[in-house]
Structure formats: structure tokens, C-alpha cells
Chain A
Amino acid sequence: MQVTVKLFATFRNGRFKVTSQELTEGTGCRTIVLGLGLTEEQIGVVLVNGRHAALDQVLHDRDTLALFPLVGGG
């Protein structure tokens, strides 16, 4: 299946902004996070198709996964 992965803020350093990954059906967010060399503790916000998700959420074909460190403003 095809999943779009987007990275933000410091996660982009030495990585990418957006990429498309070919994954086996049933892959979860955590697998992608760890595959990027990120740790669970570093993750602030996980969005799948614009909705907040847990790291163990399973992804589906054409999903968009967006990963953020903890950020804020206002």
C-alpha cells in the first residue's frame, strides 16, 4: 500500500519534508516512526488524515501520516 509521510519542525533536519512510502498492509505508525530513527519520546503529535492518532494505529492505503515534535504558540 501507498502512504504519504510528512515531517515537521525539527523532524525535517537530516530527513525530508514529505515522501511516499510503499508499505505492507497492516503497518502501524510506530513502525514508520522507528524506521525514521525517531523515538517514541520525541513524538509530540501524530495525525493520520488530519486526525489525532495513537502510535499503534494501523495505516491504510493512501493514508497521510503527519509527525510533529511537541510544538506550540498562540
Chain B
Amino acid sequence: MDKIIRINMNDLSTSTETVPAAWAGLGGRGLTSTIVAAEVPPTCHALGPNNKLVFAPGLLTGTPAANSGRLSAGAKSPLTGTIKESNAGGTAAQMLARLDIKALIIEGIPKEDKWYSLHVSMEGVAIREETELVGKWNFAVIEAIEARLGKKTGILTIGPAGEMKMTAANISVKDPDSKIRSHGRGGLGAVMGSKKIKFISIDDQGAPKVPIADPEKFKTAARVFAKALMDHPVSGEGLPTYGTNVLVNILNEAGGLPTRNFTAGRFDGADKISGETMHDTIAARGGKVKHGCHAGCIIQCSQVYHDQQGKYVTSGFEYETIWGLGADCCIDNLDDIARADSLMDDIGIDSIETAVMFGVAMEAGILPWGDSKEMLRILTEEIGQGTPLGRILGGGAGSVGKTYGVTRVPVVKNQGIPAYDPRSVKGIGITYATSTMGADHTAGYTIATNILNVGGYVDPLKKDGQVELSRNLQIATAAVDSTGMCIFIAFPALDIPECLPALIDMINARFGISLTGDDVTNLGKHILKVEHQFNIEAGFSNIHDRLPEFFTTETVAPHNAIWDFSGDEIDEFWNF
């Protein structure tokens, strides 16, 4: 039977509960956000004893459904002060699902100044004091835990950034190759650090298969679904060949690639950091152009990047990281960006927040534009060591902007704006402004329809249709984030008619229920409203659903685009 396990760090106890009826139909983001909204006081300090850190696999996680192995993490965010959900690949989600764990809810803060680990297995959750791995960086933590508990152990860990409660700290998840995927955004690593949990290890030995109510129906739907993923040119060919970094060139051409801390829309060095160049470099050096972040991913947008000597540098090397450290910081050295990517994994800090932060830090004069060596030094010696400067930088773009008096600080609700200029791609500006998460491109990825001609076309430079586009995508995304599916299934889902019904059929076959398309849309709406209500009670209003002022006063080349939505126009978003 599905269960909820509570871990109370106040008194170091655990308890297992049956799943309340109201939560039975929820998974992933739907469940983590519902639990956080129900149990965390919205005005609490995110790093205090009243915040809770919740992990939940998705509704389909652990089944043979393609791309369903994502884990959702939720809490109140110390970076934004809003509710936060962040999902990631890696091996943990499928293990938790097999262990019948619908959610882990971590509460309270230990009385003593000691560090702990959680060990999750068929026996439940054991809280253990940890001394050896405190202060260690993530790759060393993973190596040590594998030596201690076995190669197959699932791991969630925080690095020094999380231990020091930096608001850009992430939670790292071990992937099938013992490398790292991340619950990146919103500082959830700091929440885990505040609860004094260095890592969570998972052992699913002896766990049964995830039960499926109607296996035949499931199999048929799973086949249709997988075929749609393989048939669509984006998920079937583009992503496995070039990774997400294929976007550098198209955003650059379209004038939406934020450059030099959002002062231009094109970068002279774009070709050197592009997906095409990366593909050729990886192939020439014997890396892997495609790679999955969890077993069962058939899209495989990830990759393994080697250095000139053919030695491993990093994997899961994403567009947003490469854009941020590249174009936004004027760095055209892909090898150094790869080194930084690996360092950020090791330190346990969000690669998007940190990349946006470096753009602001360069504008502040902390380091010169384009100086990748100094960037690597700062990551290692300042942020990694937690010097006073490192802690300011580890607080993200807003933190460094405030400390150094910079006025061009691309954040919404204090979270760094990623990879797509909202002046020249207006739909994503609506998503940044209205997302319950602070600036988050994945919350409603209008780039698909504004730039990529997926799911139709809405002119990125005009205001028409953007609010509706963002709203529809945010609703759909909230629902998809509840299934455990990778968001990249949205590309085929937007274009291939059989794809979404097959996804719903799989959920129905898994649980023996009969959801309709409308039910799923309503679930998405419900999740957004629950999250929005939490934010309102935390002190946020429509006034916070705005982009920074400079987007309304500075045009961006080459289209001389400006952010020209009125507050009323943005507020239309919530009319549903």
C-alpha cells in the first residue's frame, strides 16, 4: 500500500501514515505543492523549523512508461519566499516509487548542532548521525556512500552550498552513472541544510514492482506514447543529437539570447558555444552525445562531455547553463563552461541562478566580462569555501545586485531570469512574471510556440496571444509535472494528437480510474491556484507579478524590443 513517511527532525523520529483520500490522486508537483500549502505556514521563515521539505515521485514513476522517472521536491523557497517545486531526474524517484512511498515529508530542525543522514529502505526511514561526510563536496559524497552502502544506492545530497544555507543551493540527485542531476531552483538545498540532513540514501532491495491495475491497457498506451516521443522531430531527433543546447543558435538568430547581462539579444561567440559545436566536440573527443538522466528515458537529451585529453568533464550539460555562463557573461570557451558546470554540481549550487548571478557580478565589476578563469576560481575558492564574498554570490543574482548597487538585475521574485529575453520573446515574459515559482522558463515554456513552431505559432515580438499561451502552458505543465514525466514530452504532446490521450490512458490503467482530458486540465488549474494562494498568504500580490524596471526602459537589439505589457494586461493571467 502507498504510504507517506514523515521524518521529524525536532525529535529525530519517523512515522508512517496511510495516504489520505484527498492526496490519493496526486503525485509529483501536485502532491508536493498540496502538502506544502496544507502544512507549511506561508509566512514562516524558509530556513526555520516550520518549513517542510517534501519529496514525491510522480503518478507514473516506477512504471515502464517512458520518461516517467522524475522526482518532485517542494518547500517554501528561501530564495523567493514563495512556494517552490523543482523536479529532477536521477535514480531516486523510481526507487521511492517501488518502495511504495508516495511522499517523504521532512519536518523541524534538530536541537543539537549535529548533521544527520536519512536511510530509506523496506524497513522505513532511519535517521543516522553523520560526521564523516560533513563538509564534503557532492562527488566525494556519492563515492563514499557507494563504498559504504553499495553501488546501487540512490542518493540525494547537498554540497557545501546547502550546508551553508546559500539561497542558490540545490539538491543533487545521483544519476545512473553516479553523476549528478539537480533539484536546481529556489534554494531547496538550503532548506535541506537547515534541517541538518547531509544526504538521503535509498535502498530498494526487496521492493516489489509498482502495481498496475490494467496491464494490457497500460502496455498498449505505453507503446503509443513511446512512438509519439520517437516520431516527433524534437524529441526523436533534435534533443538526442544536440541536447537542449541546440537552442543557442536559434535564440541568437531570433535576437532573444540575453547577452552581457541582458543588454543585447545576440552574442558574437554564439557559434562557439552552440549545440552544433558541442555535438561535434563531444563526438570528436569520444564523449557521449546522448544519455538519459534516468532509466526509461528514451529521449536522452543529456550527454557526456570530455576535455581535449578525452577525460570526463561533465554531463547533463544544459542550454541554460551554457547560455548563462556563455552569452550572458561573454564567455565563448565551452571547455571552461563545462568545468564550471561540473564545479556547480560538486558544490551543489543552481547552475541557472549562478550563471545569471555571474552576469550581474561582472556588471558590478567583481570580475571582468568574459574571464572564465576567474569565474572558475570564484566558484572553487569563494563560493565553495564560503568566504564572505562567496556567500554573497551564493545568494544568487538578487543578492549580488543588492550588495553592489546594480540596477540591471534580471530576477522576478528574486529568482534569476533564464536564457530567453522577455522583450524579444514576450510570451516567456508573461511566464516569468506570473509563475508561482519566480522567474522559471519551465513553468510555461512559450518558447515552443514563440520561437520553435511547436504547438502552433504566436509572434514573439507582439503582445497578442501571449497571456493565453502562457496560461495554457502553465496549466498543462502543472499537470505534467504531477505525472513524473519529463517536461520534454510536451513537444510531441503539443503536436501529435495521440500523445496526451496515451499519457492519460497510462494513468488510468495504472490506478484503474477513468480520468478525462478535462480532469487533467482541471488538475493543472487546481495546482496553480493552490500555489498562488500560498504566495498570496505569504505576502505576494499582483504587484510582484512584474518584470524588473529595466526591461521597460531599455530596448534590446537587434529588434529594439521592449517590455510593454501593462500591469492589468499581465494580471489577466489569473482569470481562469
Contact = CB atoms under 8 A, between A and B. Distances in A.
B247 A73 contact: yes
Nearest to A73: B244
Interface of A: 6, 8-10, 12, 17, 44-45, 47, 49-52, 66, 68-74
Given A68-B250, A69-B233, A71-B246, A9 B488 contact: no
B72 interface: no
Interface stretch (B51-59, B155-163, B445-453): B445-453
Contacts of B487: 74
A66 B253 contact: yes
A70 B250 CA distance: 11
Nearest to B557: A50
A47 B460 CA distance: 12
Contacts of A52: 254, 453, 457, 459-460
16 contacts: A8-B249, A8-B276, A10-B241, A45-B250, A45-B452, A47-B250, A49-B558, A50-B255, A69-B233, A70-B232, A71-B233, A71-B242, A71-B250, A72-B246, A72-B448, A74-B448
Nearest to B255: A50
A9 B453 contact: no
A39 B285 CA distance: 33
A73 B246 contact: yes
B571 interface: no
B461 interface: yes
B249 A69 contact: no
Given A8-B253, A72-B452, 13 more contacts: A6-B253, A9-B249, A45-B451, A49-B558, A52-B453, A69-B238, A70-B233, A71-B233, A72-B234, A72-B247, A73-B238, A73-B247, A74-B244
A57 B57 CA distance: 48
B480 to A, nearest CB: 12
Contacts of B250: 8, 45, 47, 68, 71
B559 A71 contact: no
Interface of B: 232-235, 237-239, 241-247, 249-250, 253-255, 271, 275-276, 301, 318-319, 441-442, 445, 447-448, 451-454, 457, 459-461, 487-488, 491, 558-559
A74 B243 contact: no
Contacts of A51: 254, 461, 559
A74 B447 contact: yes
B531 to A, nearest CB: 20
Contacts of A72: 234-235, 238-239, 246-247, 447-448, 452, 454, 488, 491
Contacts of A17: 271
A68 B250 CA distance: 8
A9 B250 CA distance: 10
Contact of B276 (A12, A44, A66, A70): A12
Contacts of B318: 73
A74 B453 contact: no
Contacts of A12: 276
B167 to A, nearest CB: 24
Given A6-B253, A9-B275, A10-B237, A70 B247 contact: no
B205 to A, nearest CB: 35
B89 to A, nearest CB: 14
B315 to A, nearest CB: 16
A70 B246 contact: no
Name, among B234, B243, B447, B448, the residue most crowded by chain A CB atoms within 10 Å (CB to CB).
B234
Given A6-B253, A50-B253, A70 B238 contact: yes
Contacts of B491: 72
A52 B451 CA distance: 8
A73 B559 CA distance: 23
A70 B454 contact: yes
Name, among A8, A44, A45, A72, the residue most crowded by chain B CB atoms within 10 Å (CB to CB).
A72
A72 B449 CA distance: 10
Contact of A71 (B234, B457, B460, B488): B234
Contacts of B254: 47, 50-52
Contacts of A9: 238, 241-242, 246, 249, 275-276
A12 B275 CA distance: 13
A30 B243 CA distance: 28
A6 B250 CA distance: 11
A66 B558 CA distance: 15
B414 to A, nearest CB: 22
